[in-house]
Amino acid sequence: KAGVTQTPRYLIKTRGQQVTLSCSPISGHRSVSWYQQTPGQGLQFLFEYFSETQRNKGNFPGRFSGRQFSNSRSEMNVSTLELGDSALYLCASSADNWGLAEAFFGQGTRLTVV
Amino acid sequence: AQSVAQPEDQVNVAEGNPLTVKCTYSVSGNPYLFWYVQYPNRGLQFLLKYITGDNLVKGSYGFEAEFNKSQTSFHLKKPSALVSDSALYFCAVSSSDTGRRALTFGSGTRLQVQP
């Protein structure tokens, strides 16, 4: 079956703009998590959604937001982009509700802010 | 707060030799431990996990890891390295106490297998 799909794969935005990234989880997976990967900070947890509800949130400013739709697809939005937001944004989906199943990651969206 | 340490930025090993990539963790509650591998310009691929039970966990591509509660370690091992194993390896932890989906990752260890 199809894996986690993230679109677009690459984005170039200007400081101050906003951006929306999309994630389609594996069919049947209801948990979707987002991570930011940068050379300096490594992989950092942004937030996690389950059945359209945000269950966990990492230590990121309010400019970072997300949502999940009834079909489990998820979007994340970053407003008022800063140069430091340049990163690979990874989405992961999981089958279970209890954190016991592994997360499957998409290939990521590479965001460059200029 | 939970944390993961991968003390080696890079591990070099000759093809055919055994390899070990180290990971130690800190959590409150019971740890759930994972290893992921990342190839250039790709997302993370799951290798193996420890949730409960047998301390020796076997995973994909011949990798295994041993959970050591007293040393709070979860080292990744493989008996015989392949050149194709060269990649970036991440250890991750969540726990029964904190948000189960909030994986905390280590900084990553680059494995270089020389022919």
- Helices of type H across chain B: none
Q: What pLDDT does B97 receive?
A: 67
Q: What is the mean pLDDT of residues A43-57?
A: 91
**pLDDT of B25-41, one tens digit each?**
998 888 899 999 999 87
- Residue A108 half-sphere exposure, CB side, CA atoms within 13 Å? 21
**pLDDT of B81-103, one tens digit each?**
999 999 999 999 988 665 556 88
Residues of B in contact with A58 (CB under 8 A): 102
3-state secondary structure of A87: strand
Q: What token pair was written down for A99?
A: 């954190």
Q: What percent of chain A has pLDDT over 90?
A: 82
Which residues does A contribute to its contact with B (CB < 8 Å)? 4, 6, 31, 33, 35, 42-45, 48, 50, 55-56, 58, 90, 92, 94, 98-100, 102-108
Binary contact (B106, A92; C-beta < 8 A): no
Q: Which residue reads 């041993």 in tokens? A: B66
At B91, the amino acid letter reads C
Binary contact (A102, B106; C-beta < 8 A): no
Q: What pLDDT does A75 receive?
A: 98
Which pLDDT band holds residue A98 (cuts at 50, 70, 90)?
low
Q: What pLDDT does A97 receive?
A: 65
- The nearest CA of chain A is from the CA of B57 a distance in Å of 14
Q: Residue A13 above 60 pLDDT?
A: yes
Q: What is the mean pLDDT of residues A26-36?
A: 94
Binary contact (B99, A56; C-beta < 8 A): yes
Instruction: Write phi, then psi, for B83 (nearest 5 degrees).
Output: -60, -35
Residues of A in contact with B45 (CB under 8 A): 105
Query: Which H or E run includes B111?
Result: strand B109-114
Residues of A in contact with B49 (CB under 8 A): 102
Q: What token pair was written down for B53?
A: 């039970």
**pLDDT of B39-91, one tens digit each?**
987 789 999 999 888 999 999 999 999 999 999 999 999 999 999 999 999 99
